[in-house]
Structure 1
Amino acid sequence: MRILILTHRVPFPQNGGYPIVVGNTIKGLVSMGHEVSLISINVKKHSGRQHERDDLLNKISYTEYGIDTHISVLEVFSNLFTRNPYNINKYYDAGFEKLVLQNIKDNHYDVVQLEGLFVGPYVAAIRKNTTAKLIYRAHNIEHQVWHRLAHQKNDPFKKWYLNLLARRVKKYELELLNQFDGIAVFTGEDKNAMESFGAEIPLCVVPIGVDMGKYQPEPDKTECPSLFFLGSLDWLPNREGIEWFIENFHKEIVDGDLKVKFYVAGNSIPEDFDEYDVPDKVFIQGEVDDALEFVNSKSIMIVPLLSGGGMRVKIVEGMAMKKCIISTTIGAEGINFAHGDNIIIANNAGEFYDALKRCIADEWYCREIGENARKLVEQEHDVNKVTRDLVAFYQSVI
């Protein structure tokens, strides 16, 4: 098949959830012999840093187009008096649309896959200009993310504003659902939600897939015990979660009963996080050169998500690296986990504290959790199996 994939950000390097999902999807499709083209919006805030060329680019047709998604304070204020979800509409650009339409006219695609809601503004134009089947890959139920964020806020204005965004995004999201030929979701929860919202087109659960050969744990290089968080803080649920964790446990790690070193790494960590850095106790590292090397070097992974949706790539990767993971139920959503067997679920400060105390004190318990986690990923998240399921879904729609 000839497949075109559209993304709202450049998925190279594959150093975050969205890029990893897109990259692994392309790798799987290419390995099965399908012809893949990728057209990506290059958001200007991500375009300044140069990275080595990814080998995957040599196996596909790739085009990127730069747009500026910056919204001024005045524009945000003005948007209060409209019904538009500005956080989605800012990804519309007439030049990018023209580029996509010319590409689909020049190529006979079997499938056009839109990765996430933020490329939704291009659906209507694409539909008019191709006979290819349009597949929507829902990385999460976007309006649920905003509703959950609003629920966590105590500030009345922030709560009101986030609920306003959530309502607008929901209206947009629901109006878009049946404009596709099929929807692929990561979790059964998301499939049920889509059906409850009135989706009348084929739906398929296709979980996150990872290349198992890429994940080779080296226990002799792991610091035990050690605690870490890895995630991009330009995604609001990540930032909210790590701020909650630091608020609750920074003092316990620095001066209390949690005798462990704590490492925070990821993209877009604000400068004011430096104030949490404490020599030999808490390390605010920012972006790391090799994420898997970083993960391998630490023993206990925390995923304190209080909002969000879909399936967390970092948990699947952490499991593949045999990490002992402590996560909220929301963080582990969609993964076929067993609490106390292949992951530890903690939904409040008390449960997190108890889990941390046990994991810090019992290295072999952590190792057992990690071993079982790896087995789960091998069974359910191997990219070869996941890609076969995705292609079967394409074929059922075509």
Structure 2
Amino acid sequence: MRILILTHRVPFPQNGGYPIVVGNTIKGLIAQGHQVSLISINVKNQSDKVHEPDALLSKISYTEYAIDTRLTAVEFVSNLFTKNPYNIDKYYNAGFEKLLVQNLKDNAYDIIQLEGLFVAPYLDAIRKSTRAKVIYRAHNIEHLVWKRLARQKGDPVKKWYLNQLARRVKRYELEMLAQFDGIVAFTPQDEDAIRSYGISLPVQVLPIGIDLAMYRPVTEKTEPTSLFFLGSLDWLPNREGIEWFLDNFHKEIVDGELKVKFYLAGNAIPEDFDEYEVPGKVFIQGEVDDALEFVNSKSVMIVPMLTGGGMRVKIVEGMAMQKCIISTALGAEGINFADGKNIMIANDADEFYHAITRCMADEEHCRTIGRNARLLVEQQHDVQAVTQGLLSFYATII
């Protein structure tokens, strides 16, 4: 089968949720003997770090096209009076569309898979250029992310703006979803949301798949009584969640009863987060060279998600690394967890505090949760089994 995957960002290096999902999908399809092409929008890179070329590139046909997604103040204001939301419109580029159309004319694909809503503006051009079936993978229900963000805001102006954006994204999202040949969702909750809007297309729920051979925990290298968060802070739900955690627990970690060290790592951490750093207590590390080595070196992962949607790649990876994870129920959405067995669920500051103190007081309890988490991932998140489910879904669509 010849498959084209379209992304709104370059998935290399695979150091965040979206790149990891795309990269593992491609690896799974190649392992099953299929030909994969990848076309990616390359937006302005915020990191000056130089990465080695990914080995996956030698196994696929890969094309990227640079566009500038920044909006001027005039464009931002004028977009408020147009139909489509600015955060989606900014990914449309006539030059990229021309490149995509030419690629479709030069290649006979069986399946074209759009990874998320931000490449949906190219659906009309795709339909005009090929007879291939077009699949949409819903990394989350986009308008619900903005709606949940609005609920968390106390500032009435910000709340109004985010609600306006959520309504516009919803209108666009529902209009686009109905035009695909099939939809892949990561969680049953997202499938339920899609169905609740009257969309009758075929929908397949497939969890995040990972290559378990890459995840080799070495417990002897793990620092005891250490908490960590790993994630990109250019995604608003991540930033909001970690700000909430630091606002509630920074003083307790530095001067209070929580005898732990806290490490914050990931991409796009704002400079003002340096103010949280306290020698020997709170460490703001930024982007790390080896994410799995970093995860292995710390004992307890926190996922204080207050908004967002879809399935969190970092939780699946943390489970694969036998981490004890403390997460909100929303953060663990879509994962078949059992609270207290393979994860610890905490939905407010008091519950987070009690979960952290339990972990620090009972290391064996944490290790047991980590071992159970690894078993869950082995049973439900192996990339080859997930890929086979994806291919079976393709077969029903073609």
Amino acid at match of 2:62: Y
Check conservation: 2:46, 2:268, Cα contact below 8 A. no
Equivalent position of 2:112 in the other structure? 112
Task: Name the aligned partner's letter for residue 288 of structure 1.
Answer: V
Q: CA deviation at 1:71?
A: 1.2
1:277 is matched with 277
Is the CA contact (8 Å cut-off) linking 2:311 and 2:333 kept in structure 1?
yes
Q: How does 1:207-218 map to 2 (within 5 A)?
A: 207-218=207-218
Structure 1 letter corresponding to 2:112:
V
| Distance (whole Å) between structure 1 residues aligned to residue 46 and residue 58 of structure 2 | 22
SS at match of 1:299: strand
Cα distance in structure 2, aligned partners of 1:231 and 1:49:
17
- CA distances 1:129-154 after superposition (whole Å, capped 9, x unpaired): 11100000000000000000000000
1:101-147 residue CA offsets vs partner (Å, 9 max, x unmatched): 11111010000000000000000110111110000000000000000
Aligned to 1:77: 77
Q: Equivalents in 2 of 1:279, 1:94: separation in Å?
A: 50
Extract unaligned runs of 5+ from structure 1.
none
Task: Look up the SS of the partner of 1:104 in the other structure.
Answer: helix
- The residue aligned with 1:359 is 359
AA at the equivalent of 1:357: T
The AA in structure 2 aligned to 1:137 is: R
Question: Aligned partners of 1:151, 1:2: CA distance in 2, in Å?
Answer: 43
Partner of 1:19: 19
1:317-328 aligned within 5 A: 317-328=317-328
Equivalent residue, structure 2, for 1:392 = 392
- The answer (yes or no) to whether the contact 2:8–2:42 under 8 Å persists in 1 is yes
Report the counterpart of residue 190 of structure 1 in structure 2. 190
Which residue is 1:228 aligned to?
A: 228
Match of 1:94, as an amino acid?
A
1:161 paired with 2:183, answer no
C-alpha distance in structure 1 between counterparts of 2:198 and 2:10, whole Å:
31
Cα distance between partner residues in 1 of 2:354 and 2:259: 13
Displacement of 1:81: 2.7
Structure 2 match to 1:238:
238
- Quote the Cα distance in structure 2 between the aligned partners of 1:186 and 1:256: 39
Distance in 2 (alpha carbons) for counterparts of 1:271 and 1:27: 35
- Give the whole-Å Cα distance in 1 for the aligned partners of 2:300 and 2:257: 16
Residue identity opposite 1:303 in structure 2: V
Residue 262 of structure 2 aligns with an amino acid whose one-letter code is: F
Which runs of 5 or more residues in structure 2 are unaligned? none
Structure 2 letter corresponding to 1:26: I
Deviates more, 1:181-190 or 1:42-51: 42-51
Separation of aligned partners in 1, 2:346 and 2:77: 38
- Any idea what SS the aligned residue of 1:33 has? coil
Contact 2:147 2:163 in 1 (8 A): yes
- Equivalent-residue separation in structure 1 for 2:46 and 2:103 (angstroms): 24
Q: Which residue identity does 1:39 align to in structure 2? A: I
Equivalence for 1:143: 143
Which whole-Å CA distance do the structure 2 matches of 1:72 and 1:121 have between them?
Answer: 20
Q: Which residue of 2 aligns with 1:31?
A: 31
Work out the CA distance in 2 between the residues paired with 1:89 and 1:99.
18
Indicate yes or no: 2:383 matched with 1:383. yes
Residues 268-307 of structure 1 aligned to structure 2 (within 5 Å): 268-307=268-307
Shift, 1:45, TM fit: 3.0
Partner of 1:335: 335
Cα offset, 1:93, TM superposition: 0.3
Q: What's the offset of the Cα at 1:48?
A: 5.3
Letter in 2 for 1:206: L
Question: Which residue is 1:369 aligned to?
Answer: 369
Counterpart-to-counterpart distance in 2, 1:52 and 1:96: 25
Residue equivalent to 1:96 = 96
Cα distance in 1 for residues equivalent to 2:79 and 2:120: 19
Give the whole-Å Cα distance in 2 for the aligned partners of 1:182 and 1:84.
23
Alpha-carbon deviation of 1:320?
Answer: 0.2
Q: What is the TM-score when the length of structure 1 is the normalising length?
A: 0.99
Instruction: Identify the residue that residue 53 of structure 1 maps to in structure 2.
Output: 53
Deviation at 1:73, TM superposition (A): 2.6
Letter in 2 for 1:105: K
Distance 1:75 1:281 in 2: 44
Match of 1:7 in 2: 7
Q: Give how far 1:49 is off.
A: 4.3
SS at match of 1:44: coil
Match of 1:170 in 2: 170
Report the alpha carbon displacement of residue 199 of structure 1 after superposing the two structures with TM: 1.3
CA spacing shift, 1:104–1:47, aligned 2, 3 Å: farther
User: How many pairs does the alignment contain?
Assistant: 398
The alpha-carbon deviation at position 47 of structure 1 amounts to 7.6
Instruction: Flag the 1:242–1:271 CA change in 2: closer, same or farther, 3 A.
Output: same
Counterparts of 1:48 and 1:106 in 2: how far apart (Å)? 35
Look up the match of 1:130.
Answer: 130
Query: SS at the partner of 2:229?
Result: strand
- Report Cα offsets for 1:296-344 as digits up to 9, x if no partner: 0000000000000000000000000000000001100000000000000
Structure 2: distance between partners of 1:347 and 1:253? 19
4+ runs deviating over 4 angstroms: 46-49
**TM-score (normalised: structure 2):** 0.99
Deviation sequence 1:282-305 (CA, Å, 0-9, x none): 000000000000000000000000
State the partner residue of 2:261: 261
